[in-house]
A = this chain, B = another copy of it.
Amino acid sequence: MSVAQKVRTAIVGASGYSGEELVRLLLDHPHAELTAVTSRQYAGQTLAAVFPRFAGNPVADSLQFIEPNVKALTKAAEVVFLALPHGVAAEFAEPLLAAGAKIIDLSADFRLNDAGVYKEFYGNPHPAPKLLAQSVYGMPELHRDAIRDANLIASPGCYPTSILLPTVPLLRAGLIKSTGIIADSLSGVSGAGRNVSADFLYTECNESARPYGIPKHRHLSEIEQELSLVADAHVTVQFSPHLIPINRGILTTLYLAPTQHFETEAEETALAEKITDCLATAYADEPFVRLLPADQLPDTKNVAHTNYLDLAYRLDRRTGRLIMTSALDNLVKGASGQAVQSLNLICGFDETVGLT
């Protein structure tokens, strides 16, 4: 596609939090046009009526939600984003692909290469196993070239993004072991989606911190898949998500074992240099990963409403461990912003367009 002409995009399931964030990004995207949004609940209403924050934007003021319909979508758009619950996305992906649309799916439906793993973690058979072979895991820092040529992109989950970006370069470089990896994550409540359940009422989440989904959260499947690919070994991860009272943000703390011992200060310094070099090299040209200065630690408020992942590490000579921490906005780098990176890649735009 030529940059001169705007790419026409549609969102199926635009009324959730990821969908809403995607609307925001596409309304502001200089090379993209939002031409269709679907929602069974809001069909017939404009974007501005449903999301008053967008009022004043001419597209938001006029574009109405429609019932999801493959024909209308492929007529309206070249690239279709699916922001649907797990299991539902596959229904739309098949006919849309057949009709020639490119798909960027924000659900988990196409993130796994192995339908068996899908069944293990999601509890039911994969709805469209044939498509798994052609889908690309949409994390540009890992699969940029494959994304460029893909027709079906499985945009990564928020937790996996916060875990993979810190660990992959070190694992690839052999600086950390592929065993014993522990990820302890804190998520803002928007991570639960616009899920009208008592658990997510204000009064139940405010002044509350709680673990959930331990020890086998669904996101483990894609985390382990990607780490296993890098390590060329079967990687098993310990992952504990927690819900905390913020709107947006994921803060992940990783407990890792360096392959190298470090008992003296000199050994620690030498190892730290290697780690810094490895991360700095890996992310030197990555526009959305920030390796923090040595005196800083990540804070979700510094990445809120941005597509950045912030990253820091500490070595602990007392325990021999490497502690890494990362922060991102679960709705941006953890969902819709990363999906727009993929849009930019498949359209041949600069990857950062509409994201800074």
Q: Say yes or no for A75: interface residue by CB 8 A criterion.
A: no
Q: Is the CB of A314 within 8 A of B210?
A: no
Bound complex: CA A64 to CA B313 (Å)? 26
| Contact indicator B300/A208 (Cβ below 8 Å) | yes
User: Which one of A143-151, A199-207, A334-342 contacts B?
Assistant: A199-207
Alpha-carbon separation in the docked complex, A299 to B52 (Å): 9
B52 touches A318 (CB 8 A): no
Which residues 181-198 of A have a CB within 8 angstroms of B?
A: 182, 184, 186, 188-190, 194-198
In the bound assembly, the distance between CA atoms of A323 and B216 in angstroms comes to 11
For A189, list chain B residues within 8 Å (CB).
201-203, 206
A290 touches B (CB below 8 Å): yes
Contact stretch, chosen from A65-73, A92-100, A127-135, A303-311: A303-311
| A255 touches B (CB below 8 Å) | yes
On whether A245 and B245 interact (CB within 8 A), knowing A297-B214, A302-B52, A323-B215, the answer reads yes
Which residues of A (318-349) have their CB < 8 Å from a CB of B? 318-319, 321, 323, 325, 327
Min CB distance A354 to B, Å, is: 13
User: Is A88 interfacial (CB-CB < 8 Å)?
Assistant: no
**B197 near A200 (CB under 8 angstroms)?**
no
A251 an interface residue at 8 Å Cβ cutoff? yes
Cβ of A39 < 8 Å from any Cβ of B? no
- Give Cα distance in the complex from A263 to B245, angstroms: 36
Interface residues of A in 80-106 (CB under 8 A from B): none
Q: A203-B17, A306-B53 are known contacts. Are A300 and B240 too (CB-CB below 8 A)?
A: no
Bound together, the chains give a CA A237 to CA B323 distance in angstroms of 13
Residue A293 lies at the interface, judged by CB distance under 8 Å to chain B: yes
Q: Which residue of B lies closest to A213 (CB)?
A: B297
Provide the residues of chain B in CB contact with A49, threshold 8 Å: 293
Q: Let me know if B202 and A318 touch, CB within 8 A.
A: no
Is A280 located at the chain interface by the 8 A CB criterion?
no
- Whether B247 and A207, one on each chain, are in contact in the complex, defined by CB atoms closer than 8 angstroms, is yes
| Cβ A242 vs Cβ B186 within 8 A | yes
A316 beta carbon closer than 8 Å to chain B: yes
Contact yes or no, A251 B242, CB < 8 A: yes
Please determine whether A255 and B238 come into contact, CB atoms closer than 8 angstroms.
yes
Instruction: Pick from A245, A248, A301 the residue with the most CB of B within 10 Å.
Output: A301
* Complex partner residue of A202 from B184, B202, B255, B310, CB under 8 angstroms: B202
- B210-A290 in contact (CB<8A): no
Q: Is A123 an interface residue (CB 8 A)?
A: no
Also in contact, A209 and B303, with CB within 8 A (given A190-B203, A297-B214, A323-B215): no
**B249 near A209 (CB under 8 angstroms)?**
yes
What are 11 A-B pairs at a CB distance below 8 A?
Answer: A189-B202, A189-B206, A204-B301, A207-B300, A208-B300, A209-B244, A209-B251, A209-B327, A214-B323, A244-B246, A245-B246
Closest A-B pairs by Cβ, 3 of them: A215-B316, A202-B205, A210-B299
